[in-house]
Amino acid sequence: MISPIPLRDVPQANIFRKGDVFVLFGELFGRGYANGLINEAKKAGMTLIGITVGRRDENNALRALTDEELAIAEENLGGPIINVPLMAGFDLDAPAGSPTPTDLLGDMTLKSWQEDKLDWAHIEKCRAVGVARFKDSVAQVMRQLDGMIPDGSNAFFAHTMAGGIPKVKVFLAIANRIYKGRGERFMSSKALLDSDLGKLILMNFDEVTANTFQHLIDGSAAIRARLERTGGQVRYSAYGYHGTEILINGQYQWQTYTSYTQGQAKMRLERVAEAAWQQGIKATVYNCPEIRTNSSDIFVGVELSLFPLLKALIKENGGAWAQAQWQACDALLQEGNSLDVLLQKIEDYNTSEVMAGFRNFAAWPMANSLALADLMIGTSEEITQMHADKKELVTGHLSALILEGTGPLMFHEASNPAGPVLWLNHDVIAKQLNQLHNA
Ligand SMILES: NC(=O)c1ccc[n+]([C@@H]2O[C@H](COP(=O)([O-])OP(=O)(O)OC[C@H]3O[C@@H](n4cnc5c(N)ncnc54)[C@H](O)[C@@H]3O)[C@@H](O)[C@H]2O)c1
């Protein structure tokens, strides 16, 4: 990818209707991006079907959901869930009787991890076990799904999976320093990536965040062939991240959260879609803006790029509704603080030399630096302090708006997608939101 390919206009097409099937390939959480697409699928009258990643029992064995868990998940989705555990990654997989990668990492300490070495031949065996398990489970899911999607209907497969951080104590402490540490507590993400621990985590990110999309596309080949043979169409979407254009100095400019350690996996995800597209499969990765969700809350500062959305709402023909968003956000600040002051802080932050140095698309994903951590985490804390209630943040409101905007953009673009990798920047999201609310 030499430069981002933005979606500039709000798409209007729609091939999906009642009787068509929407399959969510990942679990649904309250603030998660998938809610945007689910809302559109419901509006179109589609049948919703979900999957589960399963749960771990007390011995870390993967299990299906209990009846009670299943009922809650189905209620939450608004449709049946195929109860075959689709947990991706190989951090807890190993050939029978041998240690899992998580077991191996368990021996690392905060003092030793940068020098500790892993047995890569063994790790490869664990990876093979994990991949075989996942592909086998996808095959089981697809057999059940096949009977649930009628001939001639359209199907929309929405991939949401991302993750892969192994659950080991030592990494919690390291992550706190890499993603939240400044001053004395700062740690460079490069130190992590140079270590065997980091290399293992990147391999696991590849499996969870990228390769699962390939397994979804491959595993649903028979369903795709049947639907296409009988007059239906099949679409695949995935959520990417590769920086976002936001308003800086009055112009839409590409910027990114740093250090985005999953970046390599997200570029691999893009390549999965590109390869599928070459074969005539309509698979698109939508690179989406930074928002606050269960998954992104660990990255302190990722939320700072949300604020200029307020300016984009005005710039893209915002009316009374856009003004109301300013007022709603302003009302979340402490008395004596104003949105204008806050937005000026963000402008100063984005136009600083430190941040400008990270707006290098070709070098993405860059490692962080002490100067970046000090500025980004410092600004994040300052802005949080400006709020009346630290649990009710402007970025919560803006995250919900972005999620709402991406839903119809992805849903309608999927009907007639322009390509395998598209960026949803603040401009088109603001246009979409204004259209929705000013109609
Ligand atoms: N939050 C952001 O700022 C942002 C920005 C751009 C793209 N995205 C992408 O959007 C997608 C949804 O993320 P979200 O931020 O809405 O958070 P989320 O927590 O709601 O979703 C994370 C998803 O990953 C799945 N998942 C996690 N670990 C898994 C594993 N080991 N195996 C299989 N599935 C696993 C979960 O079931 C869930 O569906 C992800 O692909 C994410 O990378 C997020």
Please report whether residue 256 resides in a domain. Answer: yes
Indicate if ligand 1 lies below 6 Å from the C-beta of 241. yes
Q: Is the pLDDT of residue 292 over 80?
A: yes
Please report whether residue 330 resides in a domain. Answer: no
What pLDDT, on a 0 to 100 scale, did the predictor assign at position 179? 92
What is the whole-number distance in angstroms between the Cα of residue 222 and the centre of ligand 1?
26
Q: What is the pLDDT of residues 141-196, one digit of tens each?
A: 999 999 999 999 999 999 999 999 999 999 999 999 999 999 999 999 999 999 99
Instruction: State the Cα–Cα distance between residues 358 and 373, nearest whole angstrom.
Output: 12
Please report whether residue 97 resides in a domain. Answer: yes
Computed over every residue of the chain, the mean pLDDT equals: 97
Ligand 1 atom closest to 88 (CA): 32
The residue whose C-alpha atom lies closest to atom 25 belonging to ligand 1 is 161
Extract the tokens encoding 402.
């972005």
What pLDDT, on a 0 to 100 scale, did the predictor assign at position 25? 98
Domain of residue 266, CATH code: 3.40.50.720
Ligand 1 atom closest to 209 (CA): 41
Based on its alpha-carbon atoms, the radius of gyration of the chain, rounded to whole angstroms, reads: 22
Q: How many domains does the chain have?
A: 1
Please report whether residue 26 resides in a domain. Answer: yes
The residue whose C-alpha atom lies closest to atom 23 belonging to ligand 1 is 161
What pLDDT, on a 0 to 100 scale, did the predictor assign at position 295? 87
Q: What is the pLDDT of residues 60-92, one digit of tens each?
A: 999 999 999 999 999 999 999 999 999 999 999
Please report whether residue 361 resides in a domain. Answer: no
Indicate if ligand 1 lies below 6 Å from the C-beta of 196. no
Q: What percent of the chain has pLDDT over 90?
A: 97
DSSP string, 30-92: TT-THHHHHHHHHHTTPEEEEEE--EE-TTS-EEPPPHHHHHHHHHHHTS-EEEEE---SSTT
Please report whether residue 368 resides in a domain. Answer: no
What is the whole-number distance in angstroms between the Cα of residue 108 and the centre of ligand 1?
27
Q: Is the pLDDT of residue 252 over 90?
A: yes
Q: What percent of the chain has pLDDT over 70?
A: 100
Mean per-residue pLDDT for 427-438?
Answer: 97
Ligand 1 atom closest to 238 (CA): 41
Indicate if ligand 1 lies below 6 Å from the C-beta of 29. yes
Contact partners, residue 118, CB within 8 Å, separation at least 6 = 101, 104, 196, 197, 199, 200
| Site to substitute for ligand 1 among 293, 298, 303, 424, most atoms within 8 A of C-beta | 293
Indicate if ligand 1 lies below 6 Å from the C-beta of 407. no
Please report whether residue 367 resides in a domain. Answer: no
Indicate if ligand 1 lies below 6 Å from the C-beta of 402. no
Q: Which domain holds residue 419?
A: 21-299+402-427
Mean per-residue pLDDT for 410-420?
Answer: 98
Ligand 1 atom closest to 257 (CA): 3
What pLDDT, on a 0 to 100 scale, did the predictor assign at position 312? 98
Which phi and psi (to 5°) does residue 106 adopt?
-60, -25
What is the whole-number distance in angstroms between the Cα of residue 160 and the centre of ligand 1?
5
The residue whose C-alpha atom lies closest to atom 10 belonging to ligand 1 is 239
From first CA to last CA, the distance across the chain in angstroms is 36
What pLDDT, on a 0 to 100 scale, did the predictor assign at position 439? 67
Mean per-residue pLDDT for 264-271?
Answer: 98
Q: What is the pLDDT of residues 317-369, one digit of tens each?
A: 999 999 999 999 999 999 999 999 999 999 999 999 999 999 999 999 999 99
Indicate if ligand 1 lies below 6 Å from the C-beta of 161. yes
For helices 169-180 and 196-205, angle between their N-to-C axes, nearest 10 degrees: 90
Mean per-residue pLDDT for 114-122?
Answer: 97
The residue whose C-alpha atom lies closest to atom 43 belonging to ligand 1 is 162
Instruction: State the Cα–Cα distance between residues 439 and 436, nearest whole angstrom.
Output: 6
What pLDDT, on a 0 to 100 scale, did the predictor assign at position 1? 75
What pLDDT, on a 0 to 100 scale, did the predictor assign at position 193? 93
The mean-pLDDT minimum among 111-120, 137-146, 290-299 falls in 290-299
